Each structure stands twice: as C-alpha cells, then as structure tokens.
Chains A and B, each alone.
Chain A
Amino acid sequence: MLTAVDVRKHFKGLNALDGASIDVQRGEIVGLVGPNGSGKTTLLNVLSGFTRADSGRIEIGDKKIDRLPSWEVMRLGIGRTFQAPQLPTRMTVMETMLCAAKLPTGESLFGAFLRRGKVREEEREAIERATELLTRLGIAGVGDQPATDLSGGQQKLLAMGLVLMRSPRLLMLDEPAAGVNPSLRRSMVNLLKGLTQGNEISMLIVEHDMEFVQRLCSRVFVLDKGVVVAESKPSELADNPRVVEAYLGKSRATEPASAAPTNAAGESR
C-alpha cells in the first residue's frame, strides 16, 4: 500500500530524516513511535505530501508521490489528521464536514446557479452521511456549533470524521490520542479497529501512547533521530535494546508514552 525507502529531509542544520524506510501493507494498522524530536511528524508530512523530501522513494499504491503537491497525494485516497486539529473558527461542525464531502455541482460556478436541484440533492446526501458519521463517532447533535467550540477530544473526533467522509484507503493519523481522556481513547481504538475489518482501510498511526499502539497496531516502527531503529510487533518493543536506548538515551531522561506532547522544538509540521 505504502512504501517509503531511504527518505531524507534536512532543515536548517538539522537532519530531521536521515534515511528512514517504512511500509504499510493493505489492511494493516502500523504504528510509528519514537521520542520527541525523532522526526515522526516530519515523516508523516513527507508521506502525505505536505513536505518535500530531499531524497528517497515514496510510493502509494504503485504511484510515486515524491513530486506531488499535498492535495494531489490526498486525492489518491489518503486521509490524514494533524497533531493539533486545524479546524476553522467561523464554520459550524456540519459545514466543516460538508467541506470534506464531494459536492462538485456546488463547487462549480455553472452548477451553483443553473443546477440548483442537483446542488440541493448532493448536499442533502452529504448531510445524511455526515450525520451518520458524527453519530458513529459519538459527537452527534453539535452540527450547528462552531467547530472550535468543541472540546479537545471532540475536535479530534471531528478531525477523524472529516477524513472518513472521503472514504480513504490509507489513513495517516498524527497523535490521535494526544490530550484525549482514557474512555475516549478506548472508543477511538474500537472505532479504528472496526474500520479495518474486511481490509477496508490501511493505517499509519504516529503515537506516543504505547497502550494505544499495543491495542491497535500489528507492526510498529521506531524512529530515532530520523532513522528507523527497530521494527517489530508492539509486544516485543520493550525487549528491544535499541528501542530502550532511543527513549532513555545515554544522556536523555525522557520518559516514553505518558504526557501529551507539546509541539516539540525541532519537529516541524
């Protein structure tokens, strides 16, 4: 589904990615973990076309995506979330969901004025779908509120709803569980697990929360200083000395997993 080989990205004297290689098979949920500043978000940005890599080969399906702008990559059936959900302040939840829907007649100048019936029909269908999704995510009934009026956890769910509206075949999530309370985290796990039934969706999840990763991912890549230092099943991570070293480091005292990460210096968006 997704293959990335030897990706390198250099920022202002910092090697954010120094030859990272990962892959995601169809229907798999793959985790990407690593200490703060290891380059996880950068890698995600490169894989989704939001940052251009300096070198490396990246393929989604069979298509090389290294030269494509972000929206073209997304149109290949990719969906992604951001570490901080980038929701509009002056639009309602429902309008935001509609942005994620395919409403070609309403988008065109011609259609907006001369095919009003079709516009209405498309919107009606989209609203139905959106309502259904919002209910499934547990945030029904907030359709008319400004998107940013929702709580942090609800905003994360909305962000997920937005990606799901587009029925992606590959989902890239950037720290979906960060700042989310435990019970909500559990529902997220169940929701995401449900999506991959029957090989519908593949996922790449960047996370700090090890429990989240353990329950969801079949495979985990560990990133440290821009390189993949380990790839294994979640249960075997703690036994891997390279992993332990990456997190505890020789001089670093960072603890993996617990607190919600702030925007780490050195990790760009």
Chain B
Amino acid sequence: MSIAQVLVDSLLRAAELGLVALGLTIVYSLVKFANIAHVEFATVGAFIALVFAGSSTPSIAIAGAASAVIVGLLAIVLHRTFFKRLLRSGSAIPMIGSLALAIVMRALVQLSMGTRPSSFDRPLERAIEIGGAFITPLQLWLIAITLVTIAGFMIVLYRTKLGRTLRAVAANPELAAASGINVNLSIDLAWFFGAGFAALGGVLLALNTQASIQLGSTLLLPVFAVVILGGIGSPVGALLAAILIAFAENMILQVDWGSLVGDSSFYMPLSYDVAIGFVVLILTLLIRPQGLFGTAARDA
C-alpha cells in the first residue's frame, strides 16, 4: 500500500477516534472519573440519527445534529439522576456504575434496534484519487467535520468566557465555586458537549461504515488510549494523540516484521491493530501518566 494511502487511512481513523475522544476528554477533566459508558453515547447517537434520517444529505445532516443534541441532553439527565449521586462516594463507585450503564445502554440499543447492523440510506460513493490514495467525498467530509469541530471547541475553550469557566472548574472546583462560578452548570455543559461530540462521532462513523451495537465498545480502549496519551482535558492533545495512534495502528499492519521474527515475511494479523492502542495506553500510563498535554499527575 502506498504511503499516501496509509496517511489517508490514518487520518480517517484519527477522525473516527477524534470526536469521541474529544468528548471524553472534556467530561473526564471535569467530573474526574473514567466513564466506561462514554463510548455508548456514540452508539446511541448513531442509531438515533439513523431513525430520523432520510436519504437526502440535508436530512442526514439534520438528523445527525439533532441526535447530538438529544444525546447531550440525555447525558445531563444521566448525570443528575445517576452519576452525581455516585460521585459522593469517590471515583471508584462511579466507574463501576459506568460499567453497568454501558451494559444497560447496549442492551437497550439491542432490544430496540435488533442485532443486525444498519446502514444509512445513502447511495454508494465513488472514491476519488488524491496523490495515489483513494478516498470518498464522505470520508473527506468526515475528516473536515472532525477537524472543524475540534478547532471550534478549542476556540470556545481558550477564547470565550464559557471556556475559561470550564477550565477553571476542571483545574480546581472548590476555588471555582468560591469565585462564584456555577460549578453544577459547568459540569452539565461538559456532559452536554462531551456526549454530544461522542454522538456526532458515532454518526460519522456509522455513515462511513455502519451502525452496530458494537460501535461504541470497539472504540472504548482506543479512545481511552487517545485521551490518556493526549492528556485529560486537552483537545489539542486528543487530536494529536488520535493522529499518532491511528498512524501507529496502520503502520503496525503495513510493516513487514519478517526480519524481526526470523521469517521471510510476516505481517501482523488484522485484528491486532487495536492492540497498538492498548500498548500505547499502558506505556503512557507507566511512563508519563499526564500524557502529552495534560496537567501534572494528580498526586504529589
């Protein structure tokens, strides 16, 4: 495969991971526990959009946007009824709770949507060629929307009052509260954006491939790898980490490891591509837990 194709595939994969990871990094930095159910927002988002979308592009776009909003609101409700209560007992109980919620969400999706994956009602597209690599117009849109969303959110985070508020609560909730910031509202907003982005990511992913119950769970560990490598709370970190991990995933499959293993030719089995994410995750946690751009380790 040409290097151009590898780059394109990597960008695509990075986009797949990027939005969902952006969502997770936002919420994680404010609520401070690892939400295993986060990726299920992507699954739910994809299916909600599927239900409302027609076959025309505008209808899909509107369905996608509506889905993101619905999932964002759903997240706020889940926080207020469930997670907020659990957070009183520390950060371990919410994490266990998120495991339960993930299972429940997946079960509900299966019960309402069936097991067979579904696709958006779209005509097949023809790939265009750019510098030796093939990519469809939809995939270009995917990458573009992801980049624009991440960039847009970064502007919000660093150039607006809202962003300053969110960062203040993430850095020091007590101090923020003492300065008069409405911490509860900030956390609600973080959930809204976090889950909304995840849903959007799910919609895009489903557009590119299909919507299945496993959509979220196959993303779980790679997305966590991206968030931790990038540093919790850093959108640019999430973007960079997504690109790095996506690239590594692809490279691991491309390279002929024959010389290392003493064989004439040896290629990694396809399903090991996610393994690179796990390895990156574990290595990051061991070597530099705050990731590339995160704030320093949470303990002295």
Contact = CB atoms under 8 A, between A and B. Distances in A.
Bin chain B's interface residue count. Answer: under 10
Interface string B267-300: 0000000000000000000000000000010001
Interface residues of chain A: helix, strand, loop or mixed (majority): loop
B89 to A, nearest CB: 12
Interface string A255-269: 000000000000011
Contacts of B296: 12
A51 interface: yes
Main DSSP-derived SS at the B contact region: loop
Interface in A19-65: 45, 51
A11 interface: yes
A269 B296 CA distance: 16
Contacts of A12: 296
Contacts of A51: 300
A152 B207 CA distance: 61
Interface residues of A, number: 6
A51 B299 CA distance: 10
Contacts of B300: 11, 45, 51, 268-269
A3 B300 CA distance: 23
Contacts of A11: 300
Nearest to A51: B300
A268 B300 CA distance: 8
A240 B132 CA distance: 80
A122 to B, nearest CB: 33
B88 to A, nearest CB: 14
Nearest to B295: A12
Interface string A107-140: 0000000000000000000000000000000000
Contacts of A268: 300
A231 to B, nearest CB: 27
Contacts of A269: 300
Interface in A218-269: 268-269
A11 B296 CA distance: 10
Interface string B111-151: 00000000000000000000000000000000000000000
A89 to B, nearest CB: 12
Nearest to A52: B300
Interface of B: 296, 300
What are the 5 closest A-B residue pairs judged by CB atoms, nearest first?
Answer: A268-B300, A51-B300, A12-B296, A11-B300, A269-B300
